[in-house]
Amino acid sequence: MEQEGLCDDALELENLVSQMKELMVEHVNYSRKPDALVLDYKSPEELKKIMDLELGYEGVGVVGLMPIIQNILKYSVNTWHPGFLGKLYASTNPIGIISEMLISLLNGNAHVYHVSPAMTMIENTVSHNLATLLGMGEESGGITCPGGSFSNQLAMITARTCMFPEIKTKGYHAFGKKLVVFTSVAGHYSVEKTAMTLGLGIDSVIKVPCDDQGRMRTDELERLIKKSIQQGEIPFFINATAGTTGSFDPLNEIGKIAKRYNLWFHIDGSWGGSLVFSDKHRHMIDGASLADTFVLNPHKMLGTPLQCSFLLARDKKIFLQSNSLKAEYLFRHEDDLGDGTVGCGRRPDAIKLFIGWKIYGIQGYQMRIEHAFKMTKYLTLIVKNNQRFKLVLDEPPSLQVCFWYLPIGIDFNLENKKFKKMMSMITKEMYRRIMHHGKFLLDYSPIILGEKELPCFFRIALNAPSICEKHLEGLVSEIEKMGEDILEWFEEYGDENNDEMRNGVNGN
Amino acid sequence: MEQEGLCDDALELENLVSQMKELMVEHVNYSRKPDALVLDYKSPEELKKIMDLELGYEGVGVVGLMPIIQNILKYSVNTWHPGFLGKLYASTNPIGIISEMLISLLNGNAHVYHVSPAMTMIENTVSHNLATLLGMGEESGGITCPGGSFSNQLAMITARTCMFPEIKTKGYHAFGKKLVVFTSVAGHYSVEKTAMTLGLGIDSVIKVPCDDQGRMRTDELERLIKKSIQQGEIPFFINATAGTTGSFDPLNEIGKIAKRYNLWFHIDGSWGGSLVFSDKHRHMIDGASLADTFVLNPHKMLGTPLQCSFLLARDKKIFLQSNSLKAEYLFRHEDDLGDGTVGCGRRPDAIKLFIGWKIYGIQGYQMRIEHAFKMTKYLTLIVKNNQRFKLVLDEPPSLQVCFWYLPIGIDFNLENKKFKKMMSMITKEMYRRIMHHGKFLLDYSPIILGEKELPCFFRIALNAPSICEKHLEGLVSEIEKMGEDILEWFEEYGDENNDEMRNGVNGN
């Protein structure tokens, strides 16, 4: 490397990036070793003692950098590890890391065109391409937001202003009537947080029941809309979910209902929207083209680095029209994207999908998705064929497999309240044990399906391309191993009324 | 480099990071060369033609990566260039880049403790340290938000729920009364965007006049609060600004008024909050300790990569108490920081300040700030001593220097409307010329000071450590050069009523 003539910053950068590269390569490589841990779990109290968290007057200087980084890596989750199966995202990939290096090199800010010409063009291009893939038409486009929740928030802000512009200036208290929002019982909580934020109140969110597959019931949706109107409320916004913990709402039917009652049709496709890249599975989001607004987070299913969330609209102009305050001191150009948001400075997250799409193409993303479906099918199969496990849905429609572990001698009976309580406790304890063992990081969740509130189950999300059959076999073994003495644990610690419950459980 | 035994991802990462390093070093090194451009400006139409923005079915593969990156770099602003003087941020530094590499390697998500133990501890630590420096006490702490606007938003959401908890559940329409917010005419527009978002309406934001130095007038603040109460409104939130385009609101006095009327005292210190790191200039944010909530963006004055914004509170528990929905399927731990926000997944931005603080210490940040003040003083001096320039404030209190360029033969007269219109047009045209020439990227802005609405002036922000005296001398020369024939331009294109205006201008 020719170093002559390098300015100080460039020299320092060269030196540090070289060192960091070593750590990065080591971290990724470690994750694939058979004895690697996904997490060396420590409690906050333990970390407080063992991590060097002191911040003082004097700095340690650049020579102290790598030990600090190593320390952080040591006590963090290794998302590259194939045992990282609990969240709807996994690691990113080398392309993703390079994209983030680019963004930090630029210190990119996509709020106004004159400091981000290339980034602005890229954001407009990617948004339009995504929305077009979804069938949202020629005038479609969008913007990125810092995560799916903020995309959902901006969708509802925009909808409210488009439909009731006087609220933007005069406020909601002057409006006098109650605006009402619909989402399914399995929808993401950001709809409620947005209702809270917007001053609608959490009570304004009407939770539509799901069928026994976890999909919003459209008969119930329509009944609840009518009921709300009869009560003198103003329904204005439907949030359909394309990819909850397990399911996809019937978008076409919901879209028709939205049109019939003149409501804003928003689809939260944070998780499932990326299926638009798969010829085979795109049908699962049929009806996307009916949406007024659609959220898609490539950071979940496509391995783009966190965050990368697109809020798309059939009419890309609505964001500027609804949300601009015409602050001329900053925004002067129709391509000043920040003006269409409620923020100011913005990371140019669209770059990350742009680069990934360029490199992998739709084809590459499609292969990634197909692999994930294949792994989902495989895990479903081995869980189904193991009598210690019970699937929540016999045919998981998406890339999540949800199931319970059943200790020997326990019958599965969702009619029995004590059994349900026991299942939740066992799932949580096993989750804790598995996490502390460090080979896998899963998640657990309860859910309401149809009329039933299901006890906590394991939730496995399968989207990392590094996962293969042997990891899933290992997962099942790990759960079995951690469950070997779980009934003994439950009898001793699980509940004060152990005997009664055990008898009750077995008696049913 | 020992490559044997590396997994595919690790190998690819090693290869790509090496290539990217070369581009990064080149990009930074170029920025310091005498003939370097800060931006090769192209319009959106031009970029559409010359950038390869096509996204297709087939990917170009990893070999295509570096040309894509080079293309983006070519048409982006080089923030490392000492001529990047228009925004309240500059480039980051090598430490900042390494921090972002770490975050992307981790694919860090600081929403729940169990996927981000180290990051959560770091966020808690840095927030508490920052708030303690600001004098906010033992129980203080905070969280990061994706930018200052979202920090201001979360502050107002939290304030509203703390003060009127029924709005969180029942909504603002049921509240019946008008909530009112106060900020100065020079405050950031995010206060209005937040009022819009929260359903308060833009009209609920009362703009308090500033004195002739751009500081909120506390006599006017108190008068307007009283008036609002008399009108039956409910004032609840004061936003004081620690660092507008030029000035600092009198925080101590505003804090006392907030207490007297029982209002939430929020300080937007997005820009000026970082002065807490400087012994010499900390006094400018005296009164910070009185704030209920305080925003501080290290990505502005301290060179931390975008975004890095802290929302701090005297009582760190208020975020969880106000904003949690108790969504047990995700949040189970008191250190699940996402639950205190209105988002879900979150970038662990606190890591970036943590690493910077470790390396540089308070001392290092202090030196950075002192250098910036020195440069501000120098630019002020050379502008003051040049008869073609007129300072907006004779003594810029912060790290921004604002001034007009006066063509030969023009007298400065703010009483003359035509002169003011002419000044605005000349400033904008010169801004355009300077940007197209590519040696400097400035900004311009109008402002209301005291009773006067000032025409657009150049606004130079000086916080990059790479700026030295010769760059500022070059800046003054560049402006003079670009202004040589500006009067001829104005006579030809500036206005339909050229002669009249010219005469009017000279006649006064």
* ipTM of predicted complex: 0.96
- Residue to test with chain A: of B306, B447, B457, most A Cβ within 10 A: B306
- What are A16's two structure tokens? 């540090």
pLDDT range class, residue A496, cuts 50, 70, 90: low
**Runs of H (alpha helix) within A164-278:** 165-170, 190-197, 218-230, 251-260
pLDDT range class, residue A88, cuts 50, 70, 90: very high
Q: Which residues in chain B are closer than 8 Å to A236, comparing Cβ atoms?
A: none
B258: nearest Cα among B240, B243, B238:
B238
* Residue range B294-318: mean pLDDT, rounded: 97
A94 and B CB contact within 8 Å: yes
Q: Which residues in chain B are closer than 8 Å to A308, comparing Cβ atoms?
A: none
* Residue range B277-297: mean pLDDT, rounded: 97
**Backbone angles phi and psi of B31, in degrees to 5:** -60, -20
pLDDT reported for residue B346: 95
Judge: A29–B363 Cβ closer than 8 Å, yes or no.
no
Longest alpha-carbon distance in chain A: 82
- Residue to test with chain A: of B87, B105, B367, B435, most A Cβ within 10 A: B105
Q: Which residues in chain B are closer than 8 Å to A87, comparing Cβ atoms?
A: 109, 115
Q: Across chain B, what does the average pLDDT equal? A: 93
List the single range of A6-20, A246-260, B2-16 with lowest mean pLDDT. Answer: B2-16
Which string of DSSP letters, residue by residue, matches B309-369? EEEEESSTTHHHHHH----TTT--STT-GGGGSS-SS---THHHHHHHHHHHHHHHHHHHH
Class in CATH terms, B123-348: alpha beta
Judge: A7–B28 Cβ closer than 8 Å, yes or no.
yes
- C-beta separation of B342 from B197 below 8 A: no
pLDDT tens, position by position, A329-366: 666 677 888 999 999 999 999 999 999 999 999 999 99
pLDDT reported for residue B263: 98
pLDDT reported for residue A504: 31
Q: Distance between CA atoms of B134 and A458, rounded to whole angstroms?
A: 44
pLDDT range class, residue B442, cuts 50, 70, 90: very high
- What are A87's two structure tokens? 């969240």
pLDDT reported for residue A330: 64
Task: Find residues 288-317 of chain B whose CB sits inside 8 Å of chain A.
Answer: 299, 305-307
Q: Which residues in chain A are closer than 8 Å to B80, comparing Cβ atoms?
A: 9
Provide CB contacts within 8 A for B483, sequence distance 6+.
B388, B405, B407, B426, B430
B243 and A CB contact within 8 Å: no
pLDDT range class, residue A494, cuts 50, 70, 90: confident
pLDDT reported for residue A3: 58
What is the nearest CA distance from B116 to chain A, expressed in angstroms?
6
pLDDT reported for residue A447: 87
- C-beta separation of A113 from A335 below 8 A: yes
Cα A405 to Cα A214, A468, A480, A484, distances in angstroms = 21, 22, 8, 10
**Residue found by looking up tokens 């893939």 in the block:** A133
> For B57, which of A41, A80, A361 is closest by C-beta distance?
A361
List the single range of A46-55, B173-182, B440-449 with lowest mean pLDDT. Answer: B440-449
Q: Nearest chain B residue to A49 by CA: give it.
A: B121
User: In this prediction, what percent of chain B has a pLDDT beyond 70?
Assistant: 95
In the predicted model, is pLDDT for residue B111 greater than 80? yes
In the predicted model, is pLDDT for residue A503 greater than 50? no
Judge: A193–B323 Cβ closer than 8 Å, yes or no.
yes
In degrees, rounded to 5, the angle at the alpha carbon of residue B384 between the alpha carbons of residues B378 and B389 is 120
Question: Would you say how long chain A is, in residues?
Answer: 508
Judge: A167–B100 Cβ closer than 8 Å, yes or no.
no
Cα B493 to Cα B426, B433, B502, distances in angstroms = 11, 14, 13
Number of Cβ pairs < 8 A linking chain A and chain B: 507
What is the nearest CA distance from A3 to chain B, expressed in angstroms?
10
Cα dihedral B403/B407/B409/B413 (nearest 10) = -30
| A256 CB-contact burial (10 Å; exposed 0-12 / middle 13-18 / buried 19+) | middle
Count of CB atoms situated within 10 Å of the CB of A498 = 14
A282 and B CB contact within 8 Å: no
List the single range of A78-87, A443-452, B104-113, B145-154 with lowest mean pLDDT. Answer: A443-452
Count of CB atoms situated within 10 Å of the CB of A506 = 12
In the predicted model, is pLDDT for residue A110 greater than 70? yes
pLDDT reported for residue B506: 29
A53 and B CB contact within 8 Å: yes
What is the nearest CA distance from B91 to chain A, expressed in angstroms?
6
* Residue range B152-166: mean pLDDT, rounded: 98
Judge: A16–B97 Cβ closer than 8 Å, yes or no.
yes
Provide CB contacts within 8 A for A330, sequence distance 6+.
A111, A112, A336, A338, A339, A344, B189
In the predicted model, is pLDDT for residue B288 greater than 80? yes
| B395 CB-contact burial (10 Å; exposed 0-12 / middle 13-18 / buried 19+) | exposed
In the predicted model, is pLDDT for residue B501 greater than 80? no
- Residue to test with chain A: of B8, B16, B101, B191, most A Cβ within 10 A: B101
Judge: B65–A90 Cβ closer than 8 Å, yes or no.
no
Pairing label, strands B443-449, B309-313: unpaired
In the predicted model, is pLDDT for residue B273 greater than 50? yes
A364 and B CB contact within 8 Å: yes
Q: Which residues in chain A are closer than 8 Å to B58, comparing Cβ atoms?
A: 361-363
Provide CB contacts within 8 A for A167, sequence distance 6+.
A160, A161, A175, B199, B201
Judge: B27–A105 Cβ closer than 8 Å, yes or no.
yes
In the predicted model, is pLDDT for residue B507 greater than 60? no
> For A59, which of B44, B193, B364 is closest by C-beta distance?
B364
- What are A150's two structure tokens? 């903020």
The architecture CATH gives domain B364-507: Alpha-Beta Complex (3.90)
Q: Which one-letter amino acid corresponds to residue B181?
A: V
pLDDT range class, residue A245, cuts 50, 70, 90: confident
Judge: A119–B94 Cβ closer than 8 Å, yes or no.
no
pLDDT reported for residue B508: 30
pLDDT reported for residue A498: 44
> For A325, which of B189, B329, B347 is closest by C-beta distance?
B189
pLDDT tens, position by position, B59-69: 999 999 999 99
Q: Which residues in chain B are closer than 8 Å to A202, comparing Cβ atoms?
A: 168-169, 325
pLDDT tens, position by position, B187-234: 999 999 999 999 999 999 999 999 999 999 999 999 999 999 999 999
Domain with CATH 3.90.1150.170 in chain A: 364-507
- C-beta separation of B432 from B410 below 8 A: no
B363 and A CB contact within 8 Å: yes
In the predicted model, is pLDDT for residue A497 greater than 50? no
Judge: B95–A16 Cβ closer than 8 Å, yes or no.
yes
pLDDT reported for residue B326: 74
B63 and A CB contact within 8 Å: no
Longest alpha-carbon distance in chain B: 82
Element (H, E) at B454: strand B452-461
Domain with CATH 3.40.640.10 in chain A: 108-348
Strands (E), A28-77: none
* Residue range B172-178: mean pLDDT, rounded: 95
Judge: B201–A121 Cβ closer than 8 Å, yes or no.
no
In degrees, rounded to 5, the angle at the alpha carbon of residue B191 between the alpha carbons of residues A120 and B133 is 95
User: In this prediction, what percent of chain A has a pLDDT beyond 70?
Assistant: 95
pLDDT reported for residue A284: 96
A340 and B CB contact within 8 Å: no
pLDDT reported for residue A153: 98
pLDDT tens, position by position, A187-239: 999 999 999 999 999 999 999 999 999 999 999 999 999 999 999 999 999 99
Task: Find residues 147-206 of chain A whose CB sits inside 8 Å of chain B.
Answer: 147-150, 153, 157, 160-161, 167-179, 188-190, 192-204
Instruction: Tell me the fold of A108-348.
Output: Aspartate Aminotransferase; domain 2 (3.40.640)
* Residue range A252-280: mean pLDDT, rounded: 98
A271 and B CB contact within 8 Å: no
Judge: B199–A20 Cβ closer than 8 Å, yes or no.
no
Q: Distance between CA atoms of B459 and B214, rounded to whole angstroms?
A: 14
In the predicted model, is pLDDT for residue B503 greater than 60? no
Q: Across chain A, what does the average pLDDT equal? A: 93
Judge: A32–B9 Cβ closer than 8 Å, yes or no.
yes
Q: Which residues in chain B are closer than 8 Å to A195, comparing Cβ atoms?
A: 171
* Residue range A476-496: mean pLDDT, rounded: 89
